[in-house]
Structure 1
Amino acid sequence: MTVKYPIYLVDDDESVRRSVGFMLKTSGLTVRSFESGTAFLKEAGSLDPGCALLDIQMSEIDGLEVQAELRDRGIAFPVVVMTGHGDVEIAVKAMKGGAIDFIEKPFAKETLLDAIAEAFDQLERSGQKSKRRKEAELLVNALTPREHDVLVGLTKGYPNKTIGYDLDISPRTVEIHRANAMKKLDVYNLSDLLRIAFAAGIGEDRDTKTPAKRPDPQ
């Protein structure tokens, strides 16, 4: 666990908050405790990226509801759920909802730390992906609107002829815009050009199927 993020411990049982919090803090981790899912959700949007350690069975709203609300708000905290004996079926639902792991109470310190380490790995990968996207967006922002339009067409798998038809320009002009875009992005082949485009989020809504046939210019 080289990179450490905060852990948001959410449990309505004060004794659990104390014991689990102590376990984590003595392992050198930063912990912030919340007495309910409602209290956590009130602040979740302003919290730094971290791991949400949720109890499944809570009053007011349970761990599954907290997990679903985080997902609906687009808050990408990896979730580890804590379950009591016999809550395995509910824990499986949490896993299907995207939870990293579930641990049954009472659990060993090593079991908890292993789950936290996996959550930290996900946060690290997510952070690197976010960094790559920002870098790609900066590069793509240097393109002219027309070069950007051509790039969008390329991410859809369209040939120059079809892109030209859509943009009401000649295939030769498409080729010029494509060459200019490659020069600005400092790439020498189409695959590298598309890699930057996709990293920047261009073409994210593209259909994974073969593109429908477009009218061919006469």
Structure 2
Amino acid sequence: MPDRNLVFVVDDDPGTLKGVKRLLREHGYASVLFPSVEAFENCDDFDAACCLILDIDLNKESGIELRHRLKADGVSLPVIYITANDSPATRMAAMASGCIAYLTKPFSARALLEPVGKASAGLA
């Protein structure tokens, strides 16, 4: 059973990681931060969290490709994408990969907390 208050966050921007962690903490959520795809792939307890906040552009990696690999491996963690590089093609690829939200940076606290809350409640 996942921890309904634990959120995994993957983003290569230290400022975004820090800000998201602070926001989540202020609203009663714990977080585990991963500064890279490699760091996240070393995690072996994907079922521990209620959801994954995933940047789409991660250095040389794609958050969308990571999502596809997770699905292929049977990991069904709900995903909230965040990106600073919005485009119709990226948005369509993200939605097709099966996300519960797609947010463009900068996003409001409410825009992030709503899908996190749904995932935490088991509604995602």
TM superposition score normalised by structure 1: 0.51
1:15 aligns with 2:15: yes
Give, in angstroms, the shift of residue 85 of structure 1.
4.3
1:84 alignment counterpart: 84
Give identity over the alignment, percent: 26
- For structure 1, the residue ranges without an aligned partner over 5 or more in a row are 127-218
| Alpha-carbon distance in structure 2 between the residues aligned to 1:105 and 1:113 | 14
State the Cα distance separating 1:88 from its structure 2 match: 4.3
Report the counterpart of residue 198 of structure 1 in structure 2.
none
Instruction: Tell me the secondary structure at the aligned position of residue 18 of structure 2.
Output: helix
Distance 1:125 1:85, change over 3 A: closer
Task: Report the Cα offset of residue 125 of structure 1.
Answer: 5.7
Residues 1:60 and 1:7: Cα distance change in structure 2 (over 3 Å): same
Aligned to 2:118: 118
Q: TM-score, normalised by structure 2?
A: 0.87
Would you say the 8 A contact 1:79–1:119 is kept in 2? no
Quote the residue 2:102 is aligned against. Answer: 102
2:60 — aligned with what? 60
1:95 aligned counterpart, secondary structure: helix
Once residues 93 and 100 of structure 1 are traced to their aligned partners in structure 2, the CA distance between those partners, rounded to angstroms, is: 13
Q: What amino acid is aligned across from residue 74 of structure 1 in structure 2?
A: G
Highest CA radius of gyration, 1 or 2?
A: 1
CA distance in 1, matches of 2:117, 2:105: 18
User: For residues 92 and 59 of structure 1, do their structure 2 counterparts lie closer, same or farther at Cα, with a shift above 3 Å needed?
Assistant: same
Q: Which has the higher helix share?
A: 1
Q: Does 1:40 align with 2:47?
A: no
Q: Do the aligned partners of 2:70 and 2:76 also contact (CA within 8 Å) in 1?
A: yes
**Partner AA of 1:102 in structure 2:** Y
More strand by share: 2
* Structure 2 spans left out of the alignment, 5+ residues: none
Instruction: Work out the CA distance in 2 between the residues paired with 1:91 and 1:62.
Output: 13
1:109 CA drift (Å): 0.5
Count of aligned residue pairs for this structure pair: 121
**In 1, Cα distance between equivalents of 2:120 and 2:50:** 8
Following TM superposition, by how much is the alpha carbon of 1:89 offset from its aligned partner in structure 2, in angstroms?
2.5
SS in 2 for 1:74: coil
Partners of 1:88 and 1:56 in 2: CA distance: 14
**Structure-2 separation of matches of 1:91 and 1:83:** 10
SS of residue paired to 2:112: helix
Post-superposition offset of 1:110: 0.6
What is the one-letter code of the residue matched to 1:89?
Answer: A
CA drift at 1:14: 0.5
> Contact between 2:54 and 2:63, CA under 8 Å: does it hold in 1?
yes
CA contact (8 A) 1:9 1:52 kept: yes
Structure 2 counterpart SS, 1:52:
strand
The letter of the residue matching 2:45 is: S
- 8 Å Cα contact 1:11-1:17 kept in structure 2: yes
